[in-house]
Chain A
Amino acid sequence: MDYFLTEEQTMIRDLARQIAEEKVVPVREELDEREEFPWEIMKVLARSDLFGLFIPEEYGGLGKGSLELCIAVEELSRACLGVSTTYAANALGTFPVLLFGSDEQKKKYLPDIAAGKRLVAFGLTEANAGSDAGGIQTTARLEGNEYVLNGTKQWITNGGEAEIYTIIAITDRSKGARGASAFIVEKGTLGFNFGKKEKKMGIRASATRELIFDNCRVPKENMIAKEGMGFIVAMKTLDNSRTGVGAQGVGVAQGALDEAIKFARERHQFGHPIISFQAIQHMLADMATQIEAARSLVYSVARYIDNGAKDISKESAMAKVFATDVAMRVTIDAVQVMGGSGYMREYPVEKMMRDAKILQIYEGTNQIQRNVIGQALIKEAAKRK
Chain B
Amino acid sequence: MNIIVCIKQVPDTAEVRINPETNTLIRDGVPSIINPYDTHALEAGLQIKERVGGKVTVITMGPPQAETALREALSMGADDALLLTDKAFAGSDTWATSYTLAKAVEKLGADIILCGKQAIDGDTAQVGPEMAEFLNIPHIAYIRKIEEVKADSIRVQRLMDEGYDIVESSLPVLLTVVKELNEPRLPSLKGKMAAKKAEIKKMGPADLGADENNLGLKGSPTQVKNIFAPEAKKDRKMLEGTPEQQVDRLIQELRRLKCV
Contact = CB atoms under 8 A, between A and B. Distances in A.
Contact of B189 (A7, A11, A22, A23): A11
Nearest to A68: B189
A313 interface: no
A62 B190 contact: yes
A25 interface: no
Contact of A47 (B186, B192, B193, B196): B186
Interface stretch (A12-20, A121-129, A138-146, A204-212): A12-20
A8 B188 CA distance: 12
A12 to B, nearest CB: 6
Q: Is the interface of A mostly helix, strand, loop or mixed?
A: helix
Contacts, number: 33
B193 A22 contact: no
A296 interface: no
A48 B187 contact: yes
B190 A15 contact: no
A15 B186 CA distance: 8
Nearest to B195: A11
A112 interface: no
Q: How large is the interface on A (under 10, 10 to 19, 20 to 34, 35 or more residues)?
A: 10 to 19
Contacts of B187: 15, 48
Contacts of B192: 11, 15
Interface in B184-235: 185-193, 196
A11 B186 contact: no
Q: Give the contact-size bracket for chain B.
A: 10 to 19
A97 interface: no
Interface string A1-45: 000000110011001001100110000000000000000000010
Contact of B193 (A11, A18, A23): A11
Nearest to A46: B188
A89 interface: no
B195 to A, nearest CB: 10
Nearest to A18: B186
Nearest to B186: A48
Contacts of B189: 11-12, 15, 48-50, 52-53, 62
Contacts of B186: 15, 18-19, 22-23, 44, 47-48
A48 B192 CA distance: 10
Nearest to A16: B189
Contacts of A23: 186
B119 to A, nearest CB: 22
A88 B193 CA distance: 23
A26 B191 CA distance: 25
Output the residue of A19, A22, A48, A52 with the most chain B CB within 10 A.
A48
Contacts of A19: 186
Interface in A130-165: none
Contacts of B185: 47
Interface string B151-187: 0000000000000000000000000000000000111
Contacts of A7: 196
Nearest to A14: B192
Contacts of B188: 47-49
27 contacts: A7-B196, A8-B193, A11-B189, A11-B192, A11-B193, A11-B196, A12-B189, A15-B187, A15-B189, A15-B192, A18-B186, A22-B186, A23-B186, A47-B185, A47-B186, A47-B188, A48-B186, A48-B187, A48-B188, A48-B189, A49-B188, A49-B190, A50-B189, A52-B189, A53-B189, A62-B190, A62-B193
Interface of A: 7-8, 11-12, 15, 18-19, 22-23, 44, 47-50, 52-53, 62
Top 3 nearest A-B pairs (CB, nearest first) are: A49-B189, A49-B188, A48-B188
Given A15-B186, A48-B187, 17 more contacts: A8-B193, A11-B192, A11-B196, A12-B189, A15-B189, A15-B192, A19-B186, A22-B186, A47-B188, A48-B188, A48-B189, A49-B188, A49-B189, A50-B189, A53-B189, A62-B189, A62-B190
